[in-house]
Structure 1
Amino acid sequence: MVNIFEIYQTLFNFYGEQSWWPAQTPFEVCVGAILTQNTNWKNVERAIENLKLLNLLSPEKMVSVNIKTLQAAIKPVGFYRKKALYLKNFSEFLLRKGGLSRLQSLETQELRNELLEIKGIGKETSDSILLYALNKPIFVVDNYTKRLLLRLGLIKNSKISYENLQDIVEKEIKPIKENIKIYKEFHALIVIHCKLKCKKKPLCEECTFSQVCYNKQNS
C-alpha cells in the first residue's frame, strides 16, 4: 500500500506542477471558491469574466452592487441567487474585518471558525480560501480526495468525515508553513488525476497507481 507522501510524489512526477489557484488577486480566489460550489470551473471562469467586465472584483464593489446585477453576472454558475448572497455575506465580513491582509495575522483554526459562521461558506470553501488566498497551511478535501484514497486502500469507508480525511493527509504532511506549496499542488494533482484517470468509471489500465489500486484488484 502506498502512503500519502508517495501518492503526492507519484502524481507530481506524472503530471508536473499545477500552480493553482488560477486567479489574479486573493479576492478573486475567494470569489472563485464560492462560485465553484456545485458547478464546473468553466462556468466559474465565465462568471468571473462577467464580474471583471463590470469591475466588481473587490469587496467594496461586491457589497454596494445591486443584487440583481450581481445575480445576472454570475448566472453561468447556477444557484446564482444564493451565491450572490454568499458573495455579499463574505464581502461584508471582509470589510468588517479590515480586509484579507488583516485576516492573515489570525491563527488558522480561529479564522476557519469565523469563515464557517458565514452563510454560504462550508468546509471545502473555507479551506480553499485559507490555503489559496491566505496561504494558511491547511489541506483542502473534496470528493476526489475521498475517491482516490478509498481506491488506494488508505480509507475503508466512503462515509468518513471531512475532518478525519483531512487528518489522514495532515498527519503525514504536517500543516506547517513549509508545506503550503505541497498542499496546493497535492490538492490540484488529485483533482486532475480523478478527472483524467480515476473517474467514476476509472481508466485503471492507464493509471500510474494500477499496481497498487484496490479498485483494480477487486474488479
Structure 2
Amino acid sequence: MGVFEIYKQLLKAFGNQNWWPVENNFHPKEWEICAGAILTQNTNWNNVEKALNNMRKAGCVTIEDVLEIDEKDLRELIKPAGFYKQKAERLKIFAEAVGSSENLKTFLRKTSRENLLRIKGIGPETADSILLYAGNRRFFVVDAYTKRVFSRLGFFPENQNYETVRKFFEKNLPKNIKIYKEFHALIVKLAKDFCRKKPFCEKCPLKEDCSFKG
C-alpha cells in the first residue's frame, strides 16, 4: 500500500483531526501555534496546554508580552512544559526574531526554512510545525511517531534522518497543505492509540498491511 492510500485509510478510520489545536486565547492566533510548537519539545501536549493556560491567565498572550516579561517570570508560567529555563529563552529569542505581533504573519509568509533553523532552539520538527500550521506552507512535519509507524510498515529504518523522511513524504503525497496537516495528525493518533512502543495491533486500521507484530 502506498503512502497516500495509508492517509486515506487513516482518514476513513479516524476522521478529520483538525490540527493545530488552538484556543484562540493568543493574539494573533498564529502566535499560539508558534509558542505551542516550541513548548511541545520533549513533552506531551497536555503539559503544553497547562503552560499556555498559565500564560493566558497572566496576560502573556502576544509577542510584545513575551518580550516585556522578565525571563524568570516566564519560566514560572511555562514550568508544566518542562525544560522551562531553556524554553523561556527560546520563546524570547523567537519573539525577538519576529519583532512584533503585527509582523508575525509577514514573517511566517516570507522567512525561509533555512533562516528559521538558524534561530536558537528551532530544530527541523519545530520549524516545519511553525511553517505548516502557523504559516500554511507546504512542509511535512516528521516526529518520532512518524518514524515508528512507517518503519514498522517497512518504508525506512526507525533511525532514518529527518530530512530523508520529510522528503519521502513530500515526494509521495499530493502537494496539498490540508493533507500534510491531516496526515501528520492522523499518524500521531495512530501512534498514540495503536502503534505504541508496545503496540496494540489487534484493532489497528493498518494491521492487514503491516508485517510488524508486537
Give the percent of matched residue pairs that are identical in Structure 1 and Structure 2.
Answer: 47
Q: In structure 1, what residue type is equivalent to 2:139?
A: I
- Separation in 2 of the partners of 1:214 and 1:148? 12
Shift in CA distance, 43/97, structure 1 to aligned 2, threshold 3 Å = closer
1:14 aligned to 2:13? yes
- Name 1:185's counterpart in structure 2: 182
Query: Could you give the per-residue CA deviations for residues 155-210 of structure 1, whole angstroms, max 9, x where no partner exists?
Result: 1x222110110111111114x4xx10111000000001100000011111111111
- Separation in 1 of the partners of 2:159 and 2:17? 29
Gap runs ≥5 in structure 2: none
Larger mean CA deviation between 118-127 and 94-103 belongs to 94-103
Check whether the contact 1:62–1:88 (CA below 8 A) recurs between aligned residues: yes
Q: In structure 2, what residue type is equivalent to 1:16?
A: G
Moved over 3 A (4+): none
- Separation in 2 of the partners of 1:193 and 1:200? 12
- Of 78, 87, 98 in structure 2, the residue corresponding to residue 94 of structure 1 is 98
1:146 aligned to 2:143? no
Q: In structure 2, what residue type is equivalent to 1:99?
A: N
Check whether the contact 2:63–2:100 (CA below 8 A) recurs between aligned residues: no
Larger mean CA deviation between 29-38 and 91-100 belongs to 91-100
- Name 1:164's counterpart in structure 2: 164
Secondary structure at 1:153 match in 2: coil
- Name 2:75's counterpart in structure 1: 71
- Separation in 2 of the partners of 1:147 and 1:183? 18
Offset of residue 96 of structure 1? 7.2
TM-score by length of 1: 0.92
- Name 2:52's counterpart in structure 1: 48
Check whether the contact 1:32–1:48 (CA below 8 A) recurs between aligned residues: yes
Offset of residue 104 of structure 1? 4.0
- Name 1:173's counterpart in structure 2: 173
Secondary structure at 1:198 match in 2: coil
Q: How many aligned positions are there?
A: 209
- Separation in 2 of the partners of 1:105 and 1:77? 28
- Name 1:198's counterpart in structure 2: 195
Compute the RMSD of aligned alpha carbons: 1.5
Check whether the contact 1:97–1:103 (CA below 8 A) recurs between aligned residues: no
Check whether the contact 1:103–1:111 (CA below 8 A) recurs between aligned residues: no
Q: In structure 1, what residue type is equivalent to 2:21?
A: P
Q: In structure 1, what residue type is equivalent to 2:165?
A: L
Q: In structure 1, what residue type is equivalent to 2:13?
A: F
Shift in CA distance, 158/69, structure 1 to aligned 2, threshold 3 Å = same
Check whether the contact 2:62–2:101 (CA below 8 A) recurs between aligned residues: no
Secondary structure at 2:202 match in 1: helix
- Of 84, 88, 97 in structure 2, the residue corresponding to residue 84 of structure 1 is 88
- Name 1:3's counterpart in structure 2: 2
